[in-house]
Amino acid sequence: MKRESLVFFLGLVLILLPFLGIPSAWKQIGYIVLGFILALVGYHLRRLAYIRAVKDRAGTKGV
């Protein structure tokens, strides 16, 4: 699964989580786990974008 799709899917799960009839304690754990995963995936996507931008700039300096 692509990382962008993972972020979209986890966002949908976060939206639907309050309406699924899950016990309150489990919801709290779900929010924490999903938030942590979203933060990690978001950080990874930003890092890849930064590395790609640095490589692009390094390639254009010699022109």
What are 32-49's pLDDT values in tens digits?
Answer: 999 999 999 999 999 999
Q: Does residue 63 sit within a domain? A: no
Whether residue 14 is contained in a domain is answered as yes
Q: Give CA–CA dist 43/50, Å, rounded.
A: 10
Residue 45 within a domain: yes
| Residue 41 lies in domain | 3-58
Residue 32 lies in a domain: yes
- Residue 44's pLDDT is 93
For the full predicted model, state whether its pTM sits above 0.85.
no
30 part of a folded domain:
yes
Number of domains present in the structure of the chain: 1
* Residue 7 to residue 1: CA distance in whole angstroms: 10
Considering the domain boundaries, does residue 41 fall inside one?
yes
In a domain, 16, yes or no: yes
Q: Could you give the percent of the chain with pLDDT greater than 70?
A: 92
Positions in the chain whose pLDDT score sits under 70: 1, 61-63
Please report whether residue 49 resides in a domain: yes
Which tokens belong to 5? 């799709």
Apex 49 CA angle, 15 and 53, nearest 5: 155
